[in-house]
Amino acid sequence: MIIANDTAIQVLSAALKTGGDFAEIYAEDKRSSSLYMVDNALETAVSGRSHGVGIRVFKGVNSVYVYTNDSSLQGLLECANQAAAAIEGNEALGIDIVLKHNVIKTVHPILIPPHGVELNKKVDIVKRAYGAASNYDPVIKQTSVNYADSTTNVQIINSEGLNAEDERVLTRIAISAVASNGMENQTGYESPGAKMGFEFYRDKINVEDYAKEAGRTAVTMLKASPCPAGKMVAAIENGFGGVIFHEACGHSLEATSVARGQSVFCGKMGQKIASDVLTAIDDATIPNAWGSSNIDDEGNPGQKNVLIENGILKSYLVDKLNGRRMDAEPTGSGRRQSYAFAPTSRMSNTYIAPGSSTRDEIISSIDEGIYCAKMGGGSVNPITGEFNFVVSEGYMIKGGKIKEPVRGASLIGKGHEVLFDIDMVGDNLDYAQGMCGSISGSVPTNVGQPIIRVGKILVGGKK
Amino acid sequence: MLDINKYIDKLMNEAQKAGLNECEAYYTDGDSFRVMVNQGQVGEYKVNTSCGLSFRAKIDGQIGYSYTQAFDDAAIEMLIHQVKENAGILETKDEQFIFKGSSKYSELNTYIKKLDEATPEQKIKLALELEQKCLDADEHIKSVAYCIVQSGTSQSCIKNSSGLDLSFRSNGAVAFVMPVAVDGDKSYSGGYAINIEDFDHVDTERLVNTAVERALSQFGGQPVESGVYDVVFDYEAAGELLETFCTIFSAESAQKGYSLLAGKEGEKIASDIVNIIDDPLHPKGPDSAPFDAEGVATYTKNVVENGVLNTLLHNLKTANKANAESTGNASKGSYNSPVGISPSNFYIKPMNNSVDNLLSTLKNGLMITDLAGLHAVDTVSADFSLSAKGFVIKDGKKEKALEQVTISGNFYEFLKSIVMIGDDLEYGKIQTSSVASPSILVKNINVAGL
């Protein structure tokens, strides 16, 4: 689906006819395929094509967004007219639209496009994963595997002349294993993914390893006792542990919150907001990473943004509209789930940069505390900074040693406080994949960190 | 303009020609409007019309799915091809159905004509008024983080090779405000939403006052000592907990071993006073419809009666496997999702106790009004550990605000620990989400704090 230049100019002009000062067309065509295996049988296979166009018009800091599935010229003009009608004004500003052709060089090469892969090969991957998880241990009573790939073609055209196209290919497999003793169930879950094609399973991961890992977590947690409650020292392992920064700080640095004065980090640029050992980065340019993109959903190249350097706030994540509100340049962070959402500032691959401590140094420094081997999801209220997240595999630490597994734990706190409590940062940086929800929908993001130590944090538990 | 009925007929025809004798088209379309104001101006304004078509066919006992949002001849070819390809790899042994239709469907009209007559200007005016009223309500309210008015209409249709031809249209509108109260260097937000049935008569006072009170009442919030407390969950917190864990009532979850309610029909699973109702025909229910995603007629039932599990929620496949009848709970997450199971309007039946009554019975303990972290909960173990806010209750009265604590437990045990149920449940007035509860008093909740 390519929108021709003359069509685009006609549509943008219609969108601007009541005095808008900026108009944008976002066209999207997405082919997806998914498979689901459970109860020893492939149960569901769905594939298809979603298709739509969103038109956005700004007048100053006011924004109008209209979308449709009808990408014919008539459909687009109807959309543009509706958008224009919602702008207060009568007369076009007379903006002369001269479209360029922005050449996007991909930094995320796709070797095996998934929509060309025979379904049977995808089935093989699913069955390999299923077998490895379900055979891990006799107490694994149920396993499920969810395979998904998608190929999304987008075209973004705006009244400043930008005309860019991009193809985004995502590949992911989610493996869940349930261990049960008849009275209680515990789950282990792994969900590796990348901005890659089918080569992901050949070059990047061995699905059996992840499947066994899901099995191991489930079996371990079935033997775990309830986690004690209270303030503790915590060691949070690398990979998905990075969800702590994502929730405790990342969301509150998004211009979505900052521009409207709704973040605890408003007005803190250049100030110390974290301990000296903390440097945090949002990097959309990591080749083939889950949260990467050649261009964001406003057509700007993805960037590497240092958010916090040695505890000092260096940058917010800024989209075009909020950039106007806060007089800041966009940082390549305008993202959306699909054409059904107007873009706003979002994270891409966000991580705490490696520090100088080893994993052993961090664990052995803790006399009594909790070791969070695996984290689950979380959330934050950027206005108050209050965050929470789930510990999906935890252990007690006693005398500098990792001891018995504990379950049912969560960590809560206030983002602007916990950043000062991160007092050791390890050297084993790793990433993990997640779907992040906010007002522009659900987008793929990587979280990441090396193992870190938090001097004190409230652990919610049962005892 | 596309004539979707003709398009579906053409698709069904082509499918027949391609040898698909049992097939079904599921189509949804709708339009929506949303305005968000900020500082006296329209900040964001969004309208859309959207539609989607899902197609499925039963081939050698297996059902393959495909979908499209482009409606041309190429899409028809793609749908038929992909459905065949997808069905071809499946292996499930459970029998599946393309449904012929129920003998009778309830008359249900939840469509409010007057809502669709409201103009964008009216909705913008309302949003601006709400923001100003929040700001004027108290000197501590410094801004309104979100002030949103939205409305929408949606229609779903099912047409299949067995002659089923059903459609249902509904609409709705909601206003939501989240004022921010500032106390020294601390900010507190209070969100509240109400349903709108008539834009000429919106209860702005109740919306604004409730939201503002929610923000102001959090001033000076502190944790309590860790320990075991009796807790009143207000209707929102209780409703959100039930919504999070309602998947345990799905027969699909039970048959797959994800729910511990498997085989518990006829057994006690909750305290005696608990009745849980699935009510798809409620005239003001947010999720009311006369038929489910497979075209089965819906009906109202007691899922839990006096603490005893009467039935799990079934679709055709799980019912057949369990030797039962479908309960009309087949659902699709979105037009392009495969058929699964979900409750409709699903609630703990209210009893004749005011919230004050609950608090005076509690006497000393906690009242929880806000939970965070629910989306990350593991519904298979049903263990939860959630960030919570609310009040410390002393002698049946709110003594002070509570924050930075967690409550934890297990939902199966939670159902057995409910000792008193409030009267504050009314769709269309109090509750805006389909899974809901009145306020409840629950014994022995683990709280982590100081």
Statement to judge: residues A147 and A277 lie in one domain = no
Residue A22 confidence (pLDDT) above 90? yes
Note the CATH number of domain B113-216.
3.30.2290.10
Do B319 and B94 meet the contact criterion of CB atoms below 8 Å apart? no
Going by their DSSP bridges, the two strands A368-381 and A230-236 should be labelled as: parallel
Query: Which has more confidence, B381 or B275?
Result: B275
If you measure CA to CA, which chain A residue comes closest to B337?
A46
A328 in any annotated domain: yes
pLDDT tens per residue, range B164-173: 999 999 999 9
B159: helix, strand or coil: strand
Tell me the β-bridge partners of B28. Answer: B52, B156
Instruction: Output the 3-class SS for chain A.
Output: CCCCHHHHHHHHHHHCCCCCCEEEEEEEEEEEEEEEEECCEEEEEEEEEEEEEEEEEEECCEEEEEEECCCCHHHHHHHHHHHHHHCCCCCCCCCCCCCCCECCCCCCCCCCCHHHCCHHHHHHHHHHHHHHHHCCCCCEEEEEEEEEEEEEEEEEEECCCCEEEEEEEEEEEEEEEEEECCCCEEEEEECCEECCCCCHHHHHCCHHHHHHHHHHHHHHHHCCEECCCEEEEEEECCHHHHHHHHHHCHHHHEHHHHCCCCCCCCCCCCCECCCCCCCEEEECCCCCCCCCCCECCCCCECCEEEEEECCEECCCECCHHHHHHHCCCCCCCEECCCCCCCCEECCCEEEECCCCECHHHHHHCCCEEEEEEEEEEEEEECCCCEEEEEEEEEEEEECCEEEEEEECEEEEEEHHHHHHHEEEEECCCEEEEEEEEECCEEEEEEEEECCEEEEEEEEECCC
Task: Say which residue, B241 or A389, is predicted with more confidence.
Answer: B241
Question: Angle, to 10 degrees, between the axis of helix A5-15 and the axis of helix A73-86?
Answer: 20
A11 falls within a domain: no
The answer to whether residue A94 is domain-embedded is: no
The answer to the question of residue A332 being in a domain is yes
Q: What is the mean pLDDT of chain A?
A: 94
**Tens digits of per-residue pLDDT, A34-85?**
999 999 999 999 999 999 999 999 999 999 999 999 999 999 999 999 999 9
A384 to chain B: closest CA residue: B187
In total, how many domains does chain A have?
A: 2
Residues A189 and A237 in one domain: no
Say if residue A204 is in the same domain as residue A242: no
Burial degree of A306 (CB within 10 A; 0-12, 13-18, 19+): middle
Residues A236 and A218 in one domain: no
- Checking if the pLDDT of B450 tops 90, the result is no
Give, for B305, the enclosing helix (H) or strand (E).
strand B301-305
Mean residue pLDDT of chain B comes to 95
B263: left (phi over 0), alpha (psi -120 to 50) or beta: left
The reported pLDDT for the residue numbered B321 is 96
For residue B26, what are its two tokens? 């599921």
Of the pLDDT bands very low, low, confident and very high (cuts 50, 70, 90), residue A11 is: very high
Domain boundary assignment for chain B: 113-216, 220-450
Cross-chain residue pair A48–B65, CB shorter than 8 Å = yes
Can you give the pLDDT at residue B1? 56
Asked whether the beta carbons of A439 and A204 are under 8 A apart, the reply is: no
Chain B residues in contact with A460 by the CB 8 A cut-off are 385-387, 405-408, 448
Interchain contact, A46 vs B336, CB within 8 Å: yes
| Distance set, CA A142 to CA A125, A136, A377, A408 (Å) | 18, 11, 22, 20
Chain A residues within 8 A of B48 when measuring between CB atoms: 66-68, 340
Check CB contact under 8 Å for B50 and A414: no
Residues A323 and A434 in one domain: yes
Mean pLDDT of B443-449: 93
Instruction: Kindly state whether residue A375 falls inside one of the protein's structural domains.
Output: yes
Q: For A52, which of B50, B87, B338 is closest by C-beta distance?
A: B50
| B188 interaction partners in chain A (CB closer than 8 Å) | 383-384
Lowest mean pLDDT among A90-104, A196-210, A430-444: A90-104
Whether chain B has a CB inside 8 Å of the CB on A118: the answer is: no
Which band of pLDDT confidence, cut at 50, 70 and 90, is reported for residue A383? confident
Q: CA angle, B279 as apex, B273 and B280 as ends, to 5°?
A: 165
**How many percent of chain B have pLDDT more than 90?**
91
Q: What is the mean pLDDT of residues A422-437?
A: 96
Confidence of residue B355 (pLDDT cuts 50, 70, 90): very high
How many other C-beta atoms can be found within 10 angstroms of the C-beta atom of residue B330?
Answer: 27
A217 and A237, same domain (yes or no): no
Nearest to A235 by CA among A349, A331, A373: A373
Question: A252 and A208 in one domain?
Answer: no
Residue A125 belongs to some domain of the structure: yes
Q: What is the per-residue pLDDT across A164-213, written as a single tens digit (0 to 9) for each? A: 999 999 999 999 999 999 888 899 999 999 999 999 999 999 999 999 99
Contacts of A459 (CB under 8 A, 6+ apart): A227, A228, A229, A230, A231, A232, A234, A370, A391, A409, A410, A411, B448
For residue B19, give every residue at least 6 positions away whose Cβ sits within 8 Å of its Cβ, in sequence order, or none: none
CA distance A441 to A307: 23
Q: Residues A292, A412: one domain?
A: yes
Owning domain of residue A120:
114-151+168-222
Residues A449 and A333 in one domain: yes
Q: Which residues pair with B173 in a beta bridge?
A: B151
Residues 363-402 on B with a CB inside 8 Å of A are: 372-373, 375-378, 380-387
Tokens of B160: 């299949």
Distance, in angstroms, between B381 CA and closest chain A CA?
A: 5
Report the alpha-carbon distance of residue B121 to residue B123 in Å, rounded: 5
Task: Tell me: pLDDT of B405 over 70.
Answer: yes
Task: Locate A458 and state its tokens.
Answer: 């409230």
pLDDT score, position A379: 85
Rounded Cα–Cα distance for residues B224 and B393 (Å): 11
Give me the pLDDT at residue B175, please.
96
Q: Are strands A452-460 and B23-38 parallel, antiparallel or unpaired?
A: unpaired
Residue from the list B91, B189, B381 with its beta carbon closest to the beta carbon of A41: B91
**Angle, CA of A13, A17 and A20, to the nearest 5°:** 95
Q: Which of B82, B383, B446 would you mutate first to test chain A, the one with the most A CBs within 10 A?
A: B383
Q: Are residues A366 and A418 in the same domain?
A: yes
A residues 275..334 contacting B (CB < 8 A): none
- Same structural domain for residues A303 and A393? yes
CATH number of the domain that residue A212 is part of: 3.30.2290.10
Domain-located, residue A207: yes
Residues A277 and A218 in one domain: no
Contacts of A88 in chain B (CB under 8 A): 42
Which residue is closest to A34 within chain B, CA to CA?
B86
Chain center to CA of A60: 29
Render pLDDT for B146-158 as a digit per residue (tens, 0 to 9): 999 999 999 999 9
- Note whether A181 contacts B: Cβ–Cβ < 8 A: no
Task: Identify from A29, A34, A35, A44 which residue to disrupt to test chain B contact, counting B C-beta atoms within 10 A and taking the largest count.
Answer: A44
Q: Is A460:A229 a contact under the CB 8 Å cutoff? A: yes
- For residue B186, list chain A residues with Cβ-Cβ distance below 8 A: 384
Which of B48, B86, B260 minimises the CB distance to A185? B260
Most confident of A85-89, B311-315, B432-436: B311-315
Please say if the pLDDT value at position A274 is more than 60: yes
